Each structure stands twice: as C-alpha cells, then as structure tokens.
Amino acid sequence: MSLPSAATPPDHRSAEIRMLAGLGACLHPACVIRIEYASAPDPRRPCWSPWGAARVHDGDLEALFGAIDACRARHPDQQIRLRVDDLRWHSALALVVYRPRPRIPA
C-alpha cells in the first residue's frame, strides 16, 4: 500500500491510506506494533490471531502497509486490526484497518 499522491485517483482505499498515513505521524521508536486478524471478533473476549511477530516501529510505513496488505491477501474474508502499544506513555491503541465487505447471496 503506497501513500497517496496528487496523481493517485481516489478509490475505496483512499480513506484507509490517509488514516494510516496520519497514524504514522503518531508512531515513534517506543511503539510496539502488532497486526492481528479474526473472522468474527467478540468485544467481550480477545480472539485475534497474530500476523507475524510484534515489532518495534522503525519509521518504515511502507513495510507496515506491506504487512497489512500481505495479511489481507492471505485472509481476505477476515477483519484485520492494527494494535500499537506505546511503551513510553504506557498506552495502547487498537483499530480495525480492514473489514471485508459482506457477501450478498446470489
């Protein structure tokens, strides 16, 4: 997933790209990033599976976007969540970065 430019036509992912690019401004080397996926997450119990290993943010947003895209390609029918733990401020953020479109029966 690449960052949008003036020549990039708007598509269904442009809002997602802008949101992730804005998130990049908040990340720093004390952030631990995890990509997780789940078929039907339940807010009362954690049922997310990890995609790859957790990693410390190194400033490479293209690698982060690529990992999200790889998870989406492998699990196109599942939700994908980005979880960020900020060790400097002892805080955490989790946001769903992909929700599959519901299938319409034929």
Q: What is the pLDDT of residues 52-99, one digit of tens each?
A: 999 998 888 888 889 999 999 999 999 999 999 988 888 888 888 888
Task: Examine residue 105 and state whether it is found in any structural domain, yes or no.
Answer: no
Task: Examine residue 8 and state whether it is found in any structural domain, yes or no.
Answer: no
- pLDDT for 9 equals 44
Q: What is the pTM of this model?
A: 0.75
Instruction: Give the CA distances from residue 64 to residues 32, 38, 40, 45, 97, in Å, rounded to whole numbers and listed in that order.
Output: 12, 19, 23, 26, 12
Query: By residue range, what is the domain housing residue 65?
Result: 14-98
Q: What whole-number distance in Å separates Cα of residue 28 and Cα of residue 79?
A: 25
Task: Examine residue 103 and state whether it is found in any structural domain, yes or no.
Answer: no
Which runs of consecutive H residues, i.e. helices, occur in the chain?
14-24, 61-74
b (16+ CB within 10 A) / e for 17-45: beebeebeeebeeebebbbbbbeebeeee
Domain count, the chain: 1
- Cβ(103)–Cβ(76) below 8 Å: no
Comparing 76 with 103, which gets the higher pLDDT? 76
Task: Examine residue 61 and state whether it is found in any structural domain, yes or no.
Answer: yes
Q: Which residue has the tokens 């699990």?
A: 75
